[in-house]
C-alpha cells in the first residue's frame, strides 16, 4: 500500500521549490511505494517579486508580529487525505517564518493537515533561521504534529557579503554573480546536493526509524550553527519587538517610522553587528561550554 507524502512550501524566486523537490526526489523515484503531493501555498494577494524597495520594508511589522493575510484554500484532495509524512519548506522574513507560511499556519487548514503527522522542516535562508525555527516548533507542537527532522540550507558567504547579494536579488531581481559579488542565495551545488537528505529521510521512513533521523541529518551537514549569528538573532528579536509594535500602534506615522526603521536596520547591519562580532569573539573562551550546549539544542528538534 502506498504511503502518502505531502510537500508544503511557498516560493517567490523558485529557490525553495527547487530545494524541496530535490529532497522529495527519492520518494518520487519509488512511485510504487509513495504518492507524493505538492502544496504550493498561494496568497489571495501575493507579494511582488522583485520587491519594490518601499514594499520590502513595509512588510516588516506584519512579518515580525506574525500577522497573517488570506491564503487561497488548499484543494479538497489535500484537506481530505491523511498523510504519512510532511516535508515542510519555509523561508524567513525579518527573523520570523514568512507571512505566507504564518498565514497558512494561522488559516485553520494547517491544524487539520499537520495533526498527528511526522514533519520534516526545511528552510532556505540567507543565514539567520535559528530562532525562526523555534517559532515554527511552537505551531507544530500546538497542532500536535511530530517534528522528526530539520534541514537548514543557507548562503555560505560571510554575513556582510550575503546582505549585499540578497538585497540585490530581492529588490533588483539579480541573483547571478556580478563584479566582485558572488551569486545570491543557497548555492546551486547545495540545492542539487540536497537530494542526499531526501535519501536519508526516505531510508529512515521506510525502516520506521524516525527517532534517529535528525542525528543522521546533522552528521551529514544538514544543520550548521554559527554562534555569532545566534547572538545577532537574539538581539535582533528584542529590537524588532520594539520597532514592530511601535509601527503597528502608530498607524498615522507608519510611513515615517518605516523610513526610520530602514535607516536603523542598515546601521545595525553595518555598524552594530561588527561590534557584536568583536564582543562575541572576545568572550568565546568564557562561554564555550554554554555555546556548545546551545549549538546542540539548535541542531536538534526538541522545543524547550
301 assigned to some structural domain: no
pLDDT above 90: residue 100: yes
Q: Do 27 and 39 share a domain, yes or no?
A: yes
DSSP code string of 76-136: HHHHT---SEEEEEE-EETTEE-HHHHHHHTSSHHHHHHTT-EEEEEEEESS--HHHHHHH
Q: Do 233 and 196 share a domain, yes or no?
A: no
pLDDT above 90: residue 179: no
Task: Give the separation between CA 291 and CA 138, rounded to whole angstroms.
Answer: 23
299 assigned to some structural domain: no
Q: Which residue has the cell 510611513?
A: 255
Sheet strands side by side (includes 34-40): 34-40, 3-9, 85-90, 118-125, 146-154
11 assigned to some structural domain: yes
In this prediction, residue 248 carries a pLDDT of 97
Q: Do 234 and 252 share a domain, yes or no?
A: yes
Instruction: Find, among 49, 20, 18, the residue nearest to 188 by Cα.
Output: 18
Q: Which pLDDT band, with edges at 50, 70 and 90, does 65 fall under?
A: very high
Sign of CA dihedral 89, 20, 91, 294: positive
Domain carrying residue 267: 229-294
The model's pLDDT over 117-171, given as tens digits with 9 standing for 90+, comes to: 999 999 999 999 999 999 999 999 999 999 999 999 999 998 889 999 999 999 9
Q: How many domains does the chain have?
A: 2
Flag the least confident range among 99-108, 169-178, 278-287. 278-287
How many CB atoms neighbour CB 139 within 10 A? 19
pLDDT above 90: residue 272: no
Domain boundary among 198, 225, 252: 225
130 assigned to some structural domain: yes
Q: Which residue has the cell 536519508?
A: 200
174 assigned to some structural domain: yes
In this prediction, residue 274 carries a pLDDT of 82
3-state secondary structure of 249: helix
234 assigned to some structural domain: yes
300 assigned to some structural domain: no
Domain boundary among 175, 198, 225: 225
Q: Do 203 and 257 share a domain, yes or no?
A: no
The model's pLDDT over 217-259, given as tens digits with 9 standing for 90+, comes to: 999 999 999 988 998 999 999 999 999 999 999 999 999 999 9
Q: Do 161 and 221 share a domain, yes or no?
A: yes
Q: Which residue has the cell 535519501?
A: 199
196 assigned to some structural domain: yes
Q: Which pLDDT band, with edges at 50, 70 and 90, does 279 fall under?
A: confident
Q: Which pLDDT band, with edges at 50, 70 and 90, does 277 fall under?
A: confident
pLDDT above 90: residue 273: no
Q: Which residue has the cell 484543494?
A: 75
The model's pLDDT over 67-96, given as tens digits with 9 standing for 90+, comes to: 999 999 999 999 999 999 999 999 999 999
Q: Chain-wide mean pLDDT for the chain?
A: 95
Domain boundary among 225, 258, 285: 225
Q: Do 118 and 212 share a domain, yes or no?
A: yes
Question: Which residues are CB-contacts of 59 (< 8 A; sequence separation ≥ 6)?
Answer: 47, 93, 94, 99
Q: Do 116 and 205 share a domain, yes or no?
A: yes
Q: Do 64 and 211 share a domain, yes or no?
A: yes
Q: What CATH number is given to the structural domain containing 193?
A: 3.40.50.360
Q: Do 97 and 238 share a domain, yes or no?
A: no
Q: Do 214 and 266 share a domain, yes or no?
A: no
Question: Which residues are CB-contacts of 76 (< 8 A; sequence separation ≥ 6)?
Answer: none
Q: Do 221 and 233 share a domain, yes or no?
A: no
- Preceding omega of 50 cis (within 30 degrees of 0): yes
Sign of CA dihedral 188, 192, 196, 197: positive
In this prediction, residue 130 carries a pLDDT of 97
Task: Give the separation between CA 53 and CA 58, rounded to whole angstroms.
Answer: 9
The model's pLDDT over 4-53, given as tens digits with 9 standing for 90+, comes to: 999 999 999 999 999 999 999 999 999 999 999 999 999 999 999 999 98
Q: Do 136 and 233 share a domain, yes or no?
A: no
Amino acid at each position: 500500500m502506498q504511503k502518502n507524502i505531502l510537500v508544503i512550501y511557498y516560493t517567490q524566486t523558485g529557490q525553495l521549490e527547487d530545494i524541496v523537490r530535490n529532497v522529495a526526489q527519492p520518494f518520487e523515484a519509488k512511485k510504487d511505494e509513495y504518492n507524493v503531493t505538492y502544496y504550493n501555498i498561494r496568497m489571495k494577494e501575493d507579494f511582488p517579486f522583485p520587491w519594490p524597495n518601499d514594499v520590502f520594508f513595509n512588510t516588516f511589522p506584519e512579518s515580525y508580529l506574525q500577522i497573517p493575510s488570506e491564503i487561497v484554500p488548499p484543494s479538497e484532495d489535500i484537506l481530505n487525505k491523511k498523510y504519512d509524512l510532511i516535508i515542510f519548506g519555509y523561508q524567513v522574513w525579518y527573523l520570523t517564518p514568512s507571512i505566507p507560511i504564518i498565514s497558512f499556519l494561522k488559516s485553520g487548514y494547517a491544524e487539520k493537515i499537520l495533526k498527528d503527522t511526522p514533519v520534516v522542516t526545511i528552510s532556505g535562508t540567507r543565514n539567520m533561521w535559528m530562532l525562526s525555527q523555534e517559532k515554527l516548533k511552537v505551531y507544530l507542537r500546538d497542532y500536535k504534529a511530530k517534528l522528526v527532522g530539520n534541514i537548514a540550507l543557507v548562503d555560505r558567504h560571510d554575513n556582510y557579503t550575503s546582505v549585499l547579494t540578497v538585497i540585490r536579488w530581492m529588490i533588483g531581481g539579480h541573483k547571478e554573480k556580478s563584479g566582485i559579488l558572488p551569486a545570491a542565495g543557497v548555492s546551486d551545488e547545495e540545492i542539487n546536493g540536497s537530494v542526499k537528505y531526501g535519501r536519508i529521510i526516505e531510508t529512515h521512513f521506510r525502516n520506521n526509524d524516525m527517532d534517529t533521523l535528525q542525528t543522521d541529518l546533522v552528521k551529514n551537514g544538514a544543520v550548521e550553527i554559527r554562534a555569532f549569528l545566534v547572538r545577532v538573532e537574539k538581539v535582533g528579536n528584542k529590537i524588532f519587538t520594539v520597532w514592530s509594535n511601535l509601527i503597528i500602534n502608530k498607524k498615522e506615522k507608519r510611513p515615517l517610522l518605516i523610513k526610520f526603521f530602514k535607516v536603523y536596520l542598515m546601521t545595525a547591519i553595518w555598524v552594530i553587528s561588527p561590534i557584536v562580532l568583536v564582543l562575541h569573539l572576545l568572550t568565546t573562551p568564557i562561554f564555550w561550554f554554554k555555546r556548545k550546549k546551545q549549538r546542540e539544542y539548535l541542531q536538534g528538534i526538541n522545543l524547550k
